[in-house]
Amino acid sequence: MPILEVKNLNVSFKTIDGIVKAVNDVSFTVEQGEVLGIVGESGSGKSQTVLGIMGLLASNSIVSGSIKFLGQELIGVSTAALNKVRGNKLSIIFQDPMTSLNPYLTIKSQMTEVLTLHKGMSKRDALAESIRLLDFVRIPEAKERVGLYPHEFSGGMRQRVMIAMALLCRPELLIADEPTTALDVTVQAQILQILRDLQTEFKMSVVIITHDMGVVANICDRVNVMYAGRLLESGSIDNIFFDAKHPYTQALLNSIPSLDHQVEKLITIPGEPPNLMSLPQGCVFQGRCEKVHNDCCNGDIMVQEFADKRFMKCNLALGQG
């Protein structure tokens, strides 16, 4: 049984200007011990999808669909019930470690609180466990540093503290929302290494959100490609990187300058993503797709399924591409 099962998830926001459809009919699963990447550009709905899973959406949001975590439905349950799961079996780390840590509290008090609350541990045990995890994410002199405030750490260190904090209760699923975007490349490499080690050590599942295809290739097993609120293609990283079927995935991969090969000119995607308040009928990528035809502009878009839980949403018959 999958750890997480998202089915027909819709997230929209009521604003003064109208309804913003941030996530549209998104379905996917996360298996035990799997690292799933969600990639997409800004506004593709990748963050709103996971905020929906965590029950952290803004108050003007309208959510429908189903999110089952370890068999338990998360949509529509009370905050109290959510709080039993969040931070316990289900954890999240955010992009900006400075704004997600409380600047007024020491790392010690922020970390031990999690354990005393969820696990009922004594302060002393909680502190010992916190130090153990700080050691694990390679914070030097963790014993001494645990008493410091967030501003006394560098950006990379803070992100490690966040990871340690998210792992305190041994979650079954860790969600990482752009965990390395704010960091320098050499620090990013350290954090990715730590995430990989943790994943093997604790055998947990990880959902990692990123816009960096390099990060996906580095750490993920499978990847979901999102665009304008839709999940357009999903598959193993080898399938996606070496045999992308959806025109958007193909175009996205072509438009990245890469270190491993030199191209004369980048192949770009013309135009810009559609406005989420007035999405076109039919496929959301139609305005920029070079293989667009009449079927793309109205009605439902076909979901084509393949082996290994691979699928894409596109009317293009294979072989036509």
> By C-beta, is 1 or 185 nearer to other proteins?
185
Q: Which of 108, 97, 154 is nearest to 131 (CA)?
A: 108
Q: Which of 312, 302, 278 is nearest to 293 (CA)?
A: 302
Contacts of 265 (CB under 8 A, 6+ apart): none
Q: Does 187 bind other proteins (CB under 8 A)?
A: yes
Q: With CB under 8 A as the rule, give the number of residues binding other proteins.
A: 47
The token duo for 222 is 């499978």
**15 CB-side CA count, 13 A:** 11
> By C-beta, is 144 or 260 nearer to other proteins?
260
> By C-beta, is 62 or 263 nearer to other proteins?
263
Angle at 261 between CA 257 and CA 262, to 5 degrees: 70
Q: Does 152 bind other proteins (CB under 8 A)?
A: no
What x/- string results for residues 224 through 263 when contact with other proteins is judged by CB under 8 A? -------------xx--xx--------xxx-xxxxxx-xx
The helix (run of H) or strand (run of E) holding residue 190 is helix 185-202
Q: Does 20 bind other proteins (CB under 8 A)?
A: no
> By C-beta, is 122 or 275 nearer to other proteins?
275
> By C-beta, is 153 or 311 nearer to other proteins?
153
Q: Does 193 bind other proteins (CB under 8 A)?
A: yes
Output the smallest distance, CB 224 to other proteins, in A.
15
Residue type for position 136: F
What CA–CA distances, in Å, run from 106 to 47, 76, 167, 170?
A: 28, 34, 18, 22
Output the smallest distance, CB 197 to other proteins, in A.
12
- Helix 155-167 crosses helix 185-202 at what angle (to 10 degrees)? 10
Residues near other proteins (CB under 8 A) are 41-42, 140, 154, 156-157, 184-190, 192-193, 211-218, 237-238, 241-242, 251-253, 255-260, 262-263, 265-270, 272-273, 288
